[in-house]
């Protein structure tokens, strides 16, 4: 099956350190792919390479067979990437619904001239409210971001990414900051979106939810890919177990 998003030979060096070393994987159309690994494995760097915020020293990226390696971020977004960042970045002066409506108006904002002659935001606001409802924060639609807790902001970030109608939705730790009731609920929402046809790449530390909803895993450790395949098979791999258990032992030792 041809990959919707294909990543080949990505290498990123920060100073003398390889943040990513020759990492490649494909995201098949319709996949719900979990990109996991211990802290510092290079997951977020990979996400930033995909969106064009980090330029790799080597590597090739393509969406639907079209190479995007040299395109700036906004062009990649318009080609179908939607990004929900780990560190939430809502626009502070806009309410939740305005934040999402701005993304929902991506067809209008794509052309400054069209943006200049267009006033009505009604349709985009409606869509924004629907998406806020979908991620479960409809009650905060008219609140300013600085009044909202992190769990809400994570979901706002996701609603904003969804408003771009992405072919591939990139989610960087969407469940972090959510409580034990909210996390499975949002994970279910992600799984639902995927069932409705959105291809999802999920970076997540919450392994219980990852194992529950993902049908494909890519595991990174120290900037290298150490696993790629079905979740049960990948997690049974001794190298993956060692990377995870090792880091958890270290964490326990540190704590």
Partner 1 sequence: MYEISLLTVMSFSVIFALSLNLITGFCGQISLGHAAFYGIGAYSAALFTTGGGSFWLALPIAMAVAGFFGFIVGFASLRVRHDFLAITTMGVGFLFTGFVRQQEFLGGEEGIAGIPDPGIGQIPYMLLCAAFAAAVIAFSLYLKRSWMGHAFDAIATDEDTARTLGIDVARYKLTAFVFGTGLAGLAGALFAHYVKFVEVESFDFIESISVLAMVIVGGIGSIWGVVVAAAVLSVLPLLLQVFADYKLLIYGVLLFTVMYFAPGGVDSLMQTLWRRISGRQRRDKGQ
Q: Would you tell me which residues interact with partner 1 (CB under 8 A)? A: 51, 53, 72-74, 77-78, 83, 85, 89, 91-94, 98, 102-103, 105-106, 108-110, 112, 114-119, 121, 160, 164
CB of 162 to partner 1, least distance (A): 12
Output 51 or 206, the one with its CB closest to partner 1: 51
List Cα–Cα distances, 245 to 102, 210, 254, in angstroms.
43, 17, 14
CB of 141 to partner 1, least distance (A): 17
Output 108 or 194, the one with its CB closest to partner 1: 108
CB of 118 to partner 1, least distance (A): 5
- Sequence-distant (6+) residues with CB within 8 A of 77 are 51, 83, 106, 164, 166
Adjacent-strand bridge partners of 200: 32, 169
Output 90 or 151, the one with its CB closest to partner 1: 90
CB of 145 to partner 1, least distance (A): 10
- The residue behind tokens 């704590």 is 255
DSSP letter, residue 38: S
CB of 254 to partner 1, least distance (A): 32
CB of 80 to partner 1, least distance (A): 10
DSSP letter, residue 120: -
H/E stretch holding 112 reads helix 112-117
Q: Which stretches does DSSP call E strand in the chain?
A: 3-14, 17-28, 32-36, 58-63, 66-67, 81-84, 168-172, 199-203, 216-221, 224-229
Output 104 or 175, the one with its CB closest to partner 1: 104
- Phi and psi torsions of 100, nearest 5°: -75, -35
CB of 90 to partner 1, least distance (A): 8
Output 119 or 181, the one with its CB closest to partner 1: 119
Output 71 or 176, the one with its CB closest to partner 1: 71
Residue by residue, what is the 3-state secondary structure of 5-22? EEEEEEEEEECCEEEEEE
Token digits of residue 126: 């409606």
Output 106 or 215, the one with its CB closest to partner 1: 106
- Pairing, β 216-221 against β 32-36: parallel
């Amino acid at each position: 099956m041809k990959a919707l998003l294909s990543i080949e030979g990505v290498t990123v060096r920060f100073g003398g350190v390889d943040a990513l070393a020759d990492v490649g994987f494909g995201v098949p159309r319709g996949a719900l792919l979990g990109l996991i690994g211990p802290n510092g494995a290079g997951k977020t760097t990979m996400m930033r390479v995909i969106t064009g915020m980090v330029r790799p020293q080597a590597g090739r990226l393509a969406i639907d067979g079209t190479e995007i390696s040299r395109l700036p971020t906004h062009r990649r977004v318009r080609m179908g990437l939607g990004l929900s960042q780990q560190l939430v970045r809502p626009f502070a002066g806009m309410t939740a619904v305005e934040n999402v409506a701005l993304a929902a108006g991506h067809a209008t904002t794509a052309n400054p001239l069209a943006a200049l002659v267009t006033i009505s935001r009604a349709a985009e606001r409606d869509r924004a409210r629907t998406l806020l409802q979908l991620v479960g924060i409809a009650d905060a639609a008219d609140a300013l971001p600085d009044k909202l807790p992190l769990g809400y902001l994570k979901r706002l970030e996701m609603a904003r990414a969804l408003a771009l109608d992405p072919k591939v939705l990139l989610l960087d730790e969407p469940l972090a900051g959510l409580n034990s009731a909210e996390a499975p609920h949002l994970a279910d929402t992600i799984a639902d979106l995927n069932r409705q046809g959105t291809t999802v790449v999920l970076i997540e530390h919450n392994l219980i939810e990852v194992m529950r909803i993902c049908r494909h895993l890519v595991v990174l450790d120290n900037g290298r890919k150490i696993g790629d395949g079905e979740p049960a098979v990948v997690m049974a791999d001794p190298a993956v177990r060692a990377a995870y258990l090792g880091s958890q032992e270290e964490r326990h030792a540190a704590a």
